[in-house]
Structure 1
């Protein structure tokens, strides 16, 4: 190709070289000078035109870019399939002076034991934190919108005292939007107590209830079988759901939690052991028993609950911050932790997520374990109604449970679909 180009160029200038050949070296005649001059001007015009076309091409590429370069595709959390979705449980706590969202002393349904300020806590910095997901924001809580969207519905919490804390938090949040406080009342006239198995708060102006059922294990307690070892004082029937479960079915929003009572200190030391099929299972571990109980719960959800009507949630294990394994020492910090040292993980949370993942019906996991791991500053500590007993398991109100409810409301009522997995 190069040799052909050289031949072409030689042919192009050949007439001029011929005319000067008689003088022993190539010279250009006058008419050749004119030819070269005009040819040179032509080259300038052609070059200018090419430069202009090249500039136009670059301008067109800039104004009308072509298809974007390939972007690597990464795994995304389950159920997150569009840009409008995000994982609410990957993030950090940030300072926000708009918090807290209510005053527990003005909420008649907040237990005195969780109202840390009323019980003598002097610092209030623990109230000024908001959870911020990595790639999105939790919509700001709008109490009037939520009240309207809950109109005519039945919200049911099932679980242990930490479920009761979230239940109280929700009531206090919602009461900030109700002018007539007397229109909100406990259906049976009961005061909030650890002993009462069922509490129901009615928002009469909006015709909905927020209820709590105490069921710390979710499965049925049982009596001691004949010929059981003397150490057995009570049993848990792992293959039978709690006998009050029939009361949970006809609800619109159903939120479960369990885990804190599933430890040797609260079971074996008190003489609680496990039973399956009417037979004692003395060798089973607490985590193994929890897995069996959750399988019973899962079967009940699939067969008894109409998930087209009822939105079902299961909140994972909440991080505690005891300074010793015996749960006797409790150090409440002034600030959230910067390092969580594995507290973001829990075998109970893993079991919950695995069981829910294999369900044939939709259930949403509220995976609060990681976000709670940072909040060593937000526990009740010695600011309870019994200051002689430290508490690094439960949370002050207002506090961390409010954020659980903000996320719950966001999932239920957000215009855009949100992934919580």
Structure 2
């Protein structure tokens, strides 16, 4: 059976054929990988077939990410699709993906941006399940910002999509004796998070980190770095992050079974705070053309470098440039707490859906 096609309208108002992921065979997305195309180099184009789901019909989405539900009036931000320069991303086919995931376990590990991608995936997949009651949180947990573990079971297909909150990936620890008073907590750079054993038995494993590796999240709160039981009070955040990534690499090499588990690492997601503050957040109506250097990041560079050196196959999801254009897609004041502006997180539906489209395209293509 040949891949199906359908007409959509791009921003230049021209119709084009868009390849659909089907259950056929590897030909379903041959253009996606075989031409050596960099799918992370491209632009956002208008596509009236988006969004992929209705937020009001997904009970697993945090209220804080439901911008429409929180009063946002303009809906143009929902209609943009990422278009690589020299190839096409296979069209998302929820039926094919549900079958692909049958009997599997998908695990996200990271900070709140990882939780956003987890919620996005659950909502995307739930849209293809007829009996919505057959999709449920396996632990009965409420979806909150502080939840350490969340997992949703898709009963008819016997697979789970889970999230583990591990904002640094490495292990928080107690302050060693005789430490200076300014040290309130230690971050053990040479030990992966103590819940890492729960990530191993997975079929798809997606990591992110970076948004907590800042002076305000670390030094201002009394967090300092520790290696081999000794505090490293003079270590910079960039150097500490590289040490933490080396610890992650060692864990992947020694703990993950590459014959079973497909590993992904997502790069830093662009934010759009004005003048570098956390007070001035302006959400635009359309994507911006002036990315103002946001297409690169020292955090992303460190992730790219470590992924290159992992001897097993780890797929990089290099989304930094993609997000740099999307000043229109942040939560802004359309959250569950409108008095606190937010130019870090994304509205759902929105940008994280595209991360998942890419994720599924890699999985089904390979």
Partner of 2:47: 96
TM-score under structure 2 length normalisation: 0.90
Is the alpha carbon distance of 1:82 and 1:184 closer, same or farther for their aligned partners in structure 2, counting shifts above 3 Å? Answer: closer
Partner of 2:165: 214
- Aligned-partner SS, 2:307: helix
Candidates 74, 87, 95, aligned match of 1:136: 87
Partner of 2:245: 294
Is 2:59 the counterpart of 1:108?
yes
TM-score under structure 1 length normalisation: 0.79
**Distance across 1 between alignment mates of 2:315 and 2:238:** 21
Partner of 1:396: 347
> RMSD over aligned Cα, in angstroms?
1.2
- Aligned-partner SS, 1:408: helix
Is the alpha carbon distance of 1:103 and 1:136 closer, same or farther for their aligned partners in structure 2, counting shifts above 3 Å? Answer: same
**Distance across 2 between alignment mates of 1:167 and 1:262:** 21
Q: Name the larger-Rg structure.
A: 1
- Aligned-partner SS, 1:86: coil
Report how far residue 361 of structure 1 moved.
Answer: 1.1
Report how far residue 82 of structure 1 moved.
Answer: 7.6
Report how far residue 188 of structure 1 moved.
Answer: 1.1
Q: CA offsets per residue over residues 148-177 of structure 1, 9 Å max, x none?
A: 000000000000000000000000000110
**Distance across 2 between alignment mates of 1:270 and 1:328:** 19
Partner of 2:356: 405
Partner of 2:152: 201
Candidates 385, 388, 393, aligned match of 2:336: 385
Is 2:111 the counterpart of 1:160?
yes
**Distance across 2 between alignment mates of 1:91 and 1:344:** 12
Is 2:183 the counterpart of 1:232?
yes
Deviates most, 325-334 or 369-378: 325-334
Q: Which has the higher helix share?
A: 1
Partner of 1:183: 134
Written as runs of structure 1 = structure 2, the 5 A alignment for 1:302-341 is 302-341=253-292
Q: Which 5+ residue runs of structure 2 have no aligned equivalent?
A: 1-30
Report how far residue 85 of structure 1 moved.
Answer: 3.5
Q: CA offsets per residue over residues 16-59 of structure 1, 9 Å max, x none?
A: xxxxxxxxxxxxxxxxxxxxxxxxxxxxxxxxxxxxxxxxxxxx
Is 2:320 the counterpart of 1:369?
yes
Number of residue-to-residue matches in the alignment: 336
Candidates 285, 307, 311, aligned match of 1:360: 311
Runs of 4+ in structure 1 over 3 Å off: 80-85
